[in-house]
Amino acid sequence: MAMAKENDEFQKGVKHLLENGVRKLPNMYILPISDRPNVDKEQPIMAKSGLKSSIIDFAELQGPNRSHVLNSLSLACEEYGFFQVVNHGIPIHVIRRIVDVSTSFFGLPHEERSKYMSSDMASPVRYGTSWNQNKDDVFYWRDFLKLVCHPLSDVLPHWPSSPMEFRDWAATYVKETKYLFLRIMEAILETLGLWGANKDDGILKQLDDGSQLMVVNFYPPCPEPDLTLGMPPHSDYGFLTLLLQDDVQGLQVQYKGQWITVEPIDNSFFVNVGDHLEIFSNGRYKSALHRVFVNPIKPRLSVASLHSLPFYCMVRPSPKLIDDANPRRYKDTDFATFLEYISTCEPKEKNFLESRKLTSNNISN
């Protein structure tokens, strides 16, 4: 009984635990030694790792240097699975306001935030904690707000009405990030030889009408950050995720088996290749494995915007990227398969994508 009660408290999230005087990391959050972040051990930060070419100047992409930027973009997607976009064109006040209203949302009393708790994965709004709180054996030090963003007019009335300006700014932010996503995708299609003269605008139309999810992640200060994580190693499911992070370090990406800390660059987006783009590009571009560590002093906030095809569409390797030298490497995948997978087995690292790979026995054109 006492145990069940304690469990109920964990379900309310980490901010709630802190507000209720928890000063020591509960056992529920302690990861096995092999999964702990090891942040003390020498882990390079991005600036010192030699990954400079992963910075993409969006303004240059629209100008005479486009082909040069496209080369960097292609290299980043192929080699790292991520890049950072600067001069992205989204007005700075929109960026500031989305951070402000998101911070205010997490500043609301627990009763107000918890109105949006739901175990229904398809709910247009879902407040929750950890990674998958209904299934996690070990909990992660994160609270989140997930908003389904498409079709906007249908979902908007379900979004939080408090703080007062939340809906308006979230709607503006969602439209701006969708526009940026589509422009970046045009460039990515071009790097794959599917734009320009060899135009495949079918996929871009589908993406324009595609799914979009906005996830606000909040990581309060953690009493014993070396024993836990804010998010486990994972790849995102969609084509691209556009991530806005505040100025507190926490995000790490894996490169050549090593965890590299992404130092936040003011007014930029960290963009990572998701599983669907890996499938669509027939494995040429790789989805990025990333995780989040937490710290004992500063709260951290990030806003992720995840984009893919409409939920009912199949994701499959582009036929133009399949030939004798590059046989089809992935099975057809739809969103229902993904939801079924995450409801039956814990998504760890890139294991969903692994389950979609064709083996050398059943590889085909």
Ligand X SMILES: O=C(O)CCC(=O)C(=O)O
Q: Binds 292, which of ligand X, Fe ion, none (CB < 5 to 8 A, cut-off by type)?
A: ligand X
Which helix H or strand E contains 86, and what residues bound it?
strand 82-86
Which residue's Cβ lies closest to Fe ion? 236
Residues 67 and 70: their CA atoms lie apart, in Å, by: 5
What the block records as the tokens of 303 is: 């806003």
Residues 238 and 79: their CA atoms lie apart, in Å, by: 18
Smaller CB separation from ligand X, 61 or 231 = 231
Q: Which residues does residue 266 pair with via DSSP β-bridges, in sequence order? A: none
| Cα-to-chain-centroid distance, residue 306 | 6
Binding of residue 353 to ligand X (CB under 6 A) = no
Binding of residue 304 to ligand X (CB under 6 A) = yes
Binding of residue 235 to ligand X (CB under 6 A) = no
Q: Which residues does residue 55 pair with via DSSP β-bridges, in sequence order? A: 84
Residues in the chain: 365
Segment near ligand X (CB under 6 A), from 169-177, 245-253, 276-284, 312-320? 245-253
Binding of residue 231 to ligand X (CB under 6 A) = yes
Binding of residue 275 to Fe ion (CB under 5 A) = no
| Cα-to-chain-centroid distance, residue 126 | 16
Smaller CB separation from ligand X, 95 or 304 = 304
The count of other CB atoms within 10 Å of the CB of residue 100 is: 15
Total residues at the site for Fe ion (CB under 5 A)?
1
What the block records as the tokens of 352 is: 């969903």
Report the site for Fe ion in 130-189 (rule: CB under 5 A). none
Binding of residue 278 to Fe ion (CB under 5 A) = no
Binding test (CB under 6 A) with ligand X, winner from 143, 176, 190, 236 = 236
Residues 119 and 217: their CA atoms lie apart, in Å, by: 17
Render the burial of 264-300: b for 16+ CB within 10 Å, e for the rest.
bbeebbbbbbbbbbbbbbbbbbbbbbbbbbbbeeebb
Binding test (CB under 6 A) with ligand X, winner from 302, 305, 318, 333 = 302
Binding test (CB under 6 A) with ligand X, winner from 37, 250, 274, 347 = 250
Q: What is the CA radius of gyration of the chain?
A: 20
Q: Binds 13, which of Fe ion, ligand X, none (CB < 5 to 8 A, cut-off by type)?
A: none
Binding of residue 25 to ligand X (CB under 6 A) = no
Q: Binds 282, which of Fe ion, ligand X, none (CB < 5 to 8 A, cut-off by type)?
A: none
What the block records as the tokens of 108 is: 């609301």
Q: Binds 302, which of ligand X, Fe ion, none (CB < 5 to 8 A, cut-off by type)?
A: ligand X
Residues 147 and 212: their CA atoms lie apart, in Å, by: 9
Min dist CB 106 to Fe ion, Å, is: 18
Q: Which residues does residue 241 pair with via DSSP β-bridges, in sequence order? A: 272, 306
Binding mask 212-241 for Fe ion (x = CB under 5 A): ------------------------x-----
Min dist CB 255 to ligand X, Å, is: 16
Note whether 230 and 142 are within 8 A (CB).
yes
Binding test (CB under 6 A) with ligand X, winner from 245, 261, 268, 318 = 245
Residues 72 and 86: their CA atoms lie apart, in Å, by: 14
Binding of residue 238 to ligand X (CB under 6 A) = no
Binding of residue 190 to Fe ion (CB under 5 A) = no
User: Which parts of this chain interact with ligand X (CB under 6 A)?
Assistant: 215, 217, 231, 236, 243, 245, 250-251, 290, 292, 302, 304
Residue ranges binding Fe ion (CB under 5 A): 236
